[in-house]
Amino acid sequence: MSEEQTKHELDVVEIQKILPHRYPMLLVDRVVDFVPGEKVVAKKNVSVNEAFFQGHFPGNPVMPGVLIVEAMAQAGAIALLTKPEFQGKTAYFGGMNKVKFRQMVRPGDTLRLEVTLDKIRGNAGLGHGTAYVDDKRVCSGDLTFMIG
């Protein structure tokens, strides 16, 4: 495949055709590049209006780490669910391993989510995700996916 054939972008309306998530759980705003079954680069705009900031933490808003990992998993699910054999199915988060948090994510930040799918066997997949704010790595880890 040429570079032109492998580069894709998706807006939030197109993302909602792939993922079943909706507010407040849809954590991917845009896909800037992806190759079905291989990789995805997506963005999440972190707004002070996110419901979780009401309690995490008042006066010191920090995006919960578990939601950063969920955003990476949702991005990875887009790469998985755009493979022809998985279109129209649901990807479930099967597990995470070696997750590390390196920096806080705050309102006004834009998360860049990069996920590569390393292995897909049957209805399961393994991948690696990294989340960045600007060019600083804020989170990374291995992700397991199950197709339902």
Q: What is the CA radius of gyration of the chain?
A: 15
Task: Report the alpha-carbon distance of residue 128 to residue 115 in Å, rounded.
Answer: 6
Active site residues: 56
Coil, helix or strand at residue 113:
strand
Q: Following DSSP, what letter does each residue of 7-76 receive, concatenated?
A: ---B-HHHHHHH----TTS----EEEEEETTTEEEEEEE--TT-GGGGTS-TTS----HHHHHHHHHHHH
